Amino acid sequence: MTQPVVNVNNLERFYEMKGETVKALNGVDLSIDRGEFMALAGPSGSGKSTMLNLIGGLDYPTTGNVVIDGRDLQELSGRELAELRRDRIGFVFQAYNLVPVLTAEENVEYVMLLQGRAKKERHERAMEILGDVGLADMADRRPTELSGGQQQRVAVARAIAAEPAIVLADEPTANLDSASGESLLDLMAELNRLRGVTFIFSTHDTMIMERASRLVSLRDGRIAGDEKR
């Protein structure tokens, strides 16, 4: 039996907004296995991004807990959470993913730098991953010198460079044209297949939903469907 990499137990996240309580997540239980290529789908406000933020340790639940690789995020300090994100979780956001003052290579190296890896190792690893995403010859370019699709590829390279347990991708294709989106998805699927990286997407994009090995639908903060393929 495969060991779940993420366990979500009775997760609730409520916000106070203009005097009213908004239930972004309202009692979610979910288990995600290592190597899954999973999509969280649902309309705006269904709780996809909140779910991703909570799994990524970027936000705190109102009740319930998230366990990553056996570690309960609720029990971690701010610093430990930062270390967990650094070592075990990769992030790809919708846009403006990259640090604008760093080159593509420096962006990919950034997390490894936080980990304290040696310069030579960082460089070699960054160049290898940039080669895998097809951008080895653009290593010294800053984000403004790259197209949107190229920037997202660098973001994916950065997300997997430190060999995380999971990569959380929040609508990664939302700002790309369909050709660039498909190419990015091909890349992530290949990394999933070849390197066994677990991908968790939040998305509206039917292309991602169609290619996901598991589709979890959210509606009004609850799981409305869970389809494994």
Partner 1 sequence: MWKRTLQMAWRNIWRNRRRTLITSSSIALGLAAMIVYLGLFAGMNKRMLEIVTRSNYGAAQIHAIDYRSTRRLDLVIPDGIALLDRAAALPGVEAVAPRLLATGLLAIGDRSAGVDLFGIDLVRERTITDWHERLVAGHYPESANEVLLGDELADKLELEPGDKVVLTVADAPSGEMRNRLLRLAGTMYTGNPSLDKGSAILGIDTLRGDLGLPDGMHEIVFSLEGLLKDPEPIRAALASLASPSLEILPWQELNSGVYNMIRMQALYLGITVLIIFSIIAIGIVNTLAMSLAERRYEFGVLRALGTTPRSLAALIFTEAASLGIVGTVLGLIAGLLIHWPMAVQGLNLGGFQYAGVTFESRIFCIYQPGGTALIALLFIILTIMVGLGTAIRAGLIRPAEALRHY
Which residues form the interface with partner 1 (CB under 8 A)?
Answer: 53, 56, 58-59, 78-79, 82-83, 85-87, 91, 93, 95-97, 99-102, 106, 110-111, 113-116, 158
Minimum CB distance to partner 1, residue 54 (Å): 8
- The DSSP code for 165 is S
Task: Using the minimum distance from each CB to partner 1, give the nearer residue, 48 or 158.
Answer: 158
- Name beta bridge partners: 222: 219
Q: Are 107 and 129 in contact (CB under 8 A)?
A: no
Task: Using the minimum distance from each CB to partner 1, give the nearer residue, 14 or 213.
Answer: 14
Minimum CB distance to partner 1, residue 183 (Å): 23
Minimum CB distance to partner 1, residue 114 (Å): 5
| E-assigned strand segments in 18-87 | 20-33, 37-41, 63-68, 71-72
Task: Using the minimum distance from each CB to partner 1, give the nearer residue, 113 or 224.
Answer: 113
- Name beta bridge partners: 167: 90, 199
Minimum CB distance to partner 1, residue 86 (Å): 2
Give the H or E element holding residue 211: helix 206-211
Minimum CB distance to partner 1, residue 17 (Å): 13
Task: Using the minimum distance from each CB to partner 1, give the nearer residue, 204 or 214.
Answer: 204
Q: How many CB atoms lie within 10 A of CB 183?
A: 17
Task: Using the minimum distance from each CB to partner 1, give the nearer residue, 70 or 116.
Answer: 116
Q: Token pair 């639940």 is at which residue?
A: 61
Task: Using the minimum distance from each CB to partner 1, give the nearer residue, 87 or 182.
Answer: 87
Minimum CB distance to partner 1, residue 187 (Å): 20
- φ, ψ for residue 108, nearest 5 deg: -65, -35
> How many Cα neighbours within 13 Å face the side chain of 154?
32
Residue 21 structure tokens: 């309580």
